Amino acid sequence: MTSQNYPWPALPSGADPAWLPPAPERGSLRLKLAGVGPLIDTVRAELAELTGAGAGQLVDGTAEADVVFTTADRADELASGDLAGFDVESAEGLSQEGFAVLRQAGRVAVVGGSDRGLLYGYHHWRRQLRNGTAADGPEAEIHAPATAIRMLNHWDNMAVHPVMGQVERGYSGGSLFYADGALREDLTRVHHYARLLASTGINRVALNNVNVGPLEATLLTERLGDVVRLAEIFRAQGIAVHLSVNFSSPMLLGGLPSADPADPDVAQWWSRTADAIYAEIPDFGGFLVKADSEGQPGPYRYGRDHAEGANMLARAVAPHGGLVFWRAFVYNHQQDWRDRSTDRARAAFDHFVPLDGGFDENVILQVKYGPMDFQVREPVSPVIGAMPGTRLAAEFQVTQEYTGQQKHACYLAPLWSQVLGFDFEGEDVGGGESRRVSGLVDAVVAVSNVGADEHWCGHPFAQANLFAFGRLAWDPALAPEDILREWVQSTYDDVELRDVVVELLRDSWQTYEDYTAPLGVGWMVRPGQHYGPDVDGYEYTPWGTYHFADREGIGVDRTVATGTGFTGQYPLPWAARYEQLDSCPDELLLFFHHVPYTHRLGSGETVIQHIYDTHFAGVERVEEMVAAWETVRHRAPAPVAQRVSERFAEQLRSAVEWRDQLTTYFSRKSGVADEHGRHIHP
């Protein structure tokens, strides 16, 4: 656990620094750092960069400072010195990851609950410095993460997969970590990436795709050296690394005849393998497992259940403090479209809820936020409200698999915020924080959207999603628009540009929903690719993803009364709200009900008119976005300006395609004309 990496290698000149641009406001700040711990060096390097770029100077000893950075364990000691006059008592009882920002007569003290808390405090202060709000503000701000585990999953393959590419659902070029089947030689960008993550509070990453190929499987054993190198870089930013593992590893790598979790040889193989990892990486996070899912091996192969599978792995890492993230994304992907009784939405609940209480303490069941698969709109997964005896993670997608693939500007924080704030006892009744998703989970996890792309995420504005995910994982109560504003202030210098970008992105999730699949029904994308419209693309496939549109109506009847019974997986009041047509929220209507096109929504519109209206409006909104962007694009750095303009051109083309296909499809099928007489292609 060295800090040999510091100061970190600088990004090549001209590279996109995302929300950590090197040049802060110029100033004459006197900055002082005190404290001990491995991450103090990291804060020191941050301060050195800041002062090197013109923010002021580092001071030490008894010199007076404008800003003091220290840890809570030294606060008493400093109270008579550097911290004299500050409200030091407020910083008592800080959690390890927490921090306080204290202010007194124009001076600032950033106190971390530990060196880790100080790192987070530093970045908080730096954002305020950039906003011009560092020196004034409350006498004491106290911050601590709402969720202990804030993690990104990388779906990176070491080599280019013939179908899925190098980064599965990546949309941002190759992998930051790997090239040509091996770890990259030059990991400069990984250093910077780790800084970006730490600045938002991310504290764990999984380094490889959950679909673990034979090459990637060897990261566990013969390629462990690669993991060691990455772990060093992430460690310096307080981030623990995980590996996605193939459940059949004892066979693939260990030459055993089976991977049966009940086989002592198998358990022993995992145990020995974990020991070997921890010998090299004492702070290794643990494993991430996609088992019995979409063709991946798992315990079902041996007649064991998922608790048996997960616990066996958990016991291998438990002695070292490791965790096992076990994905609940298990369903029948060989479904028959003719069979209306099988419902993929039910699958995770049916598979896992009966196992509640059976998972070891260091197993975290990782549950996608919705019952399907990262659609633009889904109800919250009922699994999250139904497993009080199990540690849970909510899984999101920062990568825009179904939301425009970083070709479309689509700011996702409003979606995540809504999910994290979902109260299983209903907004009106109110279960309080403990019945909200954010209160029910121990971890918030998302699939990363970064790659070797020069703008990190394909679309420069997709950086906002990466930033916002970390911030929301830290504090789910943050308003998405406030996070957006933080991001844009951190990222761009020009004030007018910032305002327009906020304006563009704020409602872009809603806009994306408007011109794509309506009213929660989902899918309607090109199979495999998941980009661009194809209304019937998934309609007759084995994936369990149907809309059942006929000439009379559309939607999936998931009611208990007449449908698949999925609504019954929710507690009251949601079970009843979703079950009844008149109380089901408009935006989820077609997820839960099959209704005639002429059914009137709560909004007063018919379903068919809603489809027409939202699709025309969505495109108009994109046209406005493009026009607004044109007014400020000259204020952005030239490479950003060019990339964003290219992306907007594609977004507009694609939105028009969505509008035209959807309106034509439903006009052909329903025979209903648009009330406003707009042109719909025949």
Binding track over 476-515 against its own copies, x by CB under 8 A: ----------------------------------------
Name the minimum Å distance from CB 337 to its own copies. Answer: 8
DSSP 91: G
In contact, 368 and 417? CB cutoff 8 Å: no
Using the structure block, give the residue that is written with the tokens 């006892």: 425
222 assigned to active site = no
Gap between the Cα atoms of 568 and 586, Å rounded: 19
Residue choice 499, 628, 669, 674 for contact with its own copies (CB under 8 A): 669
In contact, 597 and 666? CB cutoff 8 Å: yes
End-to-end CA distance of the chain: 66
Name the minimum Å distance from CB 555 to its own copies. Answer: 13
**SS3 call for 299:** helix
Burial category of 601 from C-beta neighbours within 10 Å (exposed 0-12, middle 13-18, buried 19 and up)? middle
Q: In this complex, which beta carbon is closest to its own copies, that of residue 74 or of residue 669?
A: 669
Binding track over 240-279 against its own copies, x by CB under 8 A: ----------------------------------------
Does position 180 interact with its own copies (CB under 8 A)? The reply is no
In contact, 437 and 477? CB cutoff 8 Å: no
Size, binding site for its own copies by CB under 8 A: 28
Q: Which of residues 628-667 bind its own copies (CB under 8 A)?
A: 657, 660-661, 664-665, 667
**Residue 511 structure tokens:** 């806009």
From 168, 226, 305, 373, active-site residue: 373
Q: In this complex, which beta carbon is closest to its own copies, that of residue 28 or of residue 341?
A: 341
Does position 552 interact with its own copies (CB under 8 A)? The reply is yes
Binding track over 521-550 against its own copies, x by CB under 8 A: ------------xxxxx-xx-------xxx
Q: Are strands 323-327 and 595-596 parallel, antiparallel or unpaired?
A: unpaired
From 46, 156, 401, 423, active-site residue: 401
Gap between the Cα atoms of 101 and 121, Å rounded: 7
Taking phi over 0 as left and psi of -120 to 50 as alpha, with beta for the rest, 105 belongs to: left
Q: In this complex, which beta carbon is closest to its own copies, that of residue 259 or of residue 535?
A: 535
Q: Which of residues 110-169 bind its own copies (CB under 8 A)?
A: 162
Gap between the Cα atoms of 242 and 424, Å rounded: 31
Q: In this complex, which beta carbon is closest to its own copies, that of residue 357 or of residue 542?
A: 542
**Quick one: which of 95, 125, 101 has its CA closest to 113?**
95
Name the minimum Å distance from CB 301 to its own copies. Answer: 25
Q: In this complex, which beta carbon is closest to its own copies, that of residue 275 or of residue 552?
A: 552
Name the minimum Å distance from CB 129 to its own copies. Answer: 49
Gap between the Cα atoms of 570 and 384, Å rounded: 10
Name the minimum Å distance from CB 458 to its own copies. Answer: 21
Does position 222 interact with its own copies (CB under 8 A)? The reply is no
**Quick one: which of 168, 302, 275, 178 has its CA closest to 220?**
275
294 assigned to active site = yes
Q: In this complex, which beta carbon is closest to its own copies, that of residue 678 or of residue 681?
A: 681
Q: In this complex, which beta carbon is closest to its own copies, that of residue 42 or of residue 166?
A: 166
**Quick one: which of 484, 353, 367, 371 has its CA closest to 417?**
484
From 60, 64, 222, 294, active-site residue: 294
Does position 668 interact with its own copies (CB under 8 A)? The reply is yes
Name the minimum Å distance from CB 557 to its own copies. Answer: 11
**Quick one: which of 196, 288, 286 has its CA closest to 233?**
196
Q: How many CB atoms lie within 10 A of CB 678?
A: 13
Gap between the Cα atoms of 541 and 549, Å rounded: 15
Name the minimum Å distance from CB 528 to its own copies. Answer: 9
Omega cis (within 30) before 476: no
Residue choice 14, 264, 295, 682 for contact with its own copies (CB under 8 A): 682
Does position 60 interact with its own copies (CB under 8 A)? The reply is no
Q: In this complex, which beta carbon is closest to its own copies, that of residue 272 or of residue 653?
A: 653
Name the minimum Å distance from CB 275 to its own copies. Answer: 40
**SS3 call for 114:** coil
Q: What is the largest CA-CA distance in the chain?
A: 81
Crossing angle for the helix pair 264-280 and 224-235, to the nearest 10 degrees: 50
Name the minimum Å distance from CB 340 to its own copies. Answer: 7
Binding track over 309-348 against its own copies, x by CB under 8 A: ----------------------------xx-x--------
In contact, 9 and 191? CB cutoff 8 Å: yes
87 assigned to active site = no
Q: Are strands 156-161 and 149-153 parallel, antiparallel or unpaired?
A: unpaired
State residue 460 phi and psi, 5-degree precision: -55, -35
Q: Are strands 443-447 and 553-554 parallel, antiparallel or unpaired?
A: unpaired
Q: In this complex, which beta carbon is closest to its own copies, that of residue 26 or of residue 681?
A: 681
Q: What residues act catalytically?
A: 294, 373, 401
Which positions touch its own copies (CB under 8 A)? 162, 337-338, 340, 533-537, 539-540, 548-552, 657, 660-661, 664-665, 667-671, 681-682
